[in-house]
Amino acid sequence: MVACVVCLAGFLVRPSGPARLAVRRATLAAEAAALAPDDRGAVGRAQDAVVLARTVLADDASHGRTRETALRLADELSGAAGTPADLPSRLSLRATARASLTDGGWGLRAARVTLAAAAAAGLAQVAGFGHPAWAAMGATATLQGTTTQHAVVRALQRALGTVAGALIAWPLLDAHLGFWATAALVVVLQVVTEIVVGRHYGLAMLTITPMALLMTSLGGSGEGIALDRALDTAVGALVGVLAVVLVHARRRATAPGTGGTAV
């Protein structure tokens, strides 16, 4: 409930904030690509950022409160990135779901997440860690990365951030705070998390971890759960990275002049 209120507060104060941020990122990416036209990575990031910005603007343009700002931002993006000034049509929820289902990679992604979560939980259980579900969550979170590099970065951020967060939570758990003190601290940590997580995932783990551990302690003893959280998350992050590296689409070699087929 608190997270919902915090997330919706921005729409009341600055409804075009996400669109402004998306356009700013797309503009910076386009400028970086223009300075290094031979850098395929920079060009690809710029293209992705521009597509995302135009999608966000299309959504804003469909609402009366944000339409004027969205059209102005579209003109700014057009001048900076050379994109068409007119925005694409906003996809309905049904159309978005249909496009996701027709994407041939969704089955592979679903299988990878399922297998990684099961493997991480199984390893944590065999190792005797107290909360195998945390290992499954660590693997699943790692697999949210869009590329192998992104997944590795997320794994490092989650693992190291969780270890640091567990160290922060340790004295709080040993203090044996009462229910209301714990609840108040959880609310504060939740608010800080919602502010930070969009900017840096690793830093957000410094508040997510104590928050999760404090809530867990309300249901029973908090003894040893900080160490369990760190170990389970490390196992999950490692399994997630292995899943990204080992489970992916392969391309079958074809005769010259024909296109490759993903299998």
Alpha carbon 116 to its chain centroid, in Å, reads 17
- Dump pLDDT digits (tens) for 158-172: 899 999 999 999 999
> What pLDDT is attached to residue 104?
60
pLDDT band, very low/low/confident/very high, at 144 (cuts 50, 70, 90): confident
Domain boundary among 48, 65, 81: 81
3-state secondary structure the chain: CHHHHHHHHHHHHCCCHHHHHHHHHHHHHHHHHHHCCCCHHHHHHHHHHHHHHHHHHHHHHCCHHHHHHHHHHHHHHHHHHCCCCCCCCCCCHHHHHHHHHHCCCHHHHHHHHHHHHHHHHHHHHHHCCCCHHHHHHHHHHHCCCCCHHHHHHHHHHHHHHHHHHHHHHHHHHHCCCCHHHHHHHHHHHHHHHHHHCCCCHHHHHHHHHHHHHHHHHHCCCCCCHHHHHHHHHHHHHHHHHHHHHHCCCCEECCCCCCCCEEC
> What is the pTM for the complete model shown?
0.64
**Helices 148-174, 201-218: inter-axial angle, 10-degree rounding:** 40
The partner residues of 232 in beta bridges, in order of sequence, read none
In a domain, 218, yes or no: yes
In a domain, 110, yes or no: no
Instruction: Tell me which residue range forms the domain holding 182.
Output: 145-254
In a domain, 259, yes or no: no
pLDDT band, very low/low/confident/very high, at 258 (cuts 50, 70, 90): very low
In a domain, 129, yes or no: no
Least confident of 3-17, 38-52, 69-83, 192-206: 3-17
Domain boundary among 81, 111, 132: 81
- Which residues, other chains included, contact 166 with Cβ-Cβ below 8 Å and sequence gap of 6+? 209, 213, 226, 227, 229, 230
Start-to-end Cα distance in the chain: 43
In a domain, 90, yes or no: no
Instruction: Look at the chain and report how many structural domains it folds into.
Output: 2
- Dump pLDDT digits (tens) for 188-216: 999 899 888 878 888 999 999 999 999 98
pLDDT at 255 over 60: no
Domain boundary among 81, 116, 135: 81
> What pLDDT is attached to residue 3?
60
Chain position carrying tokens 């300075």: 35
> What pLDDT is attached to residue 235?
93
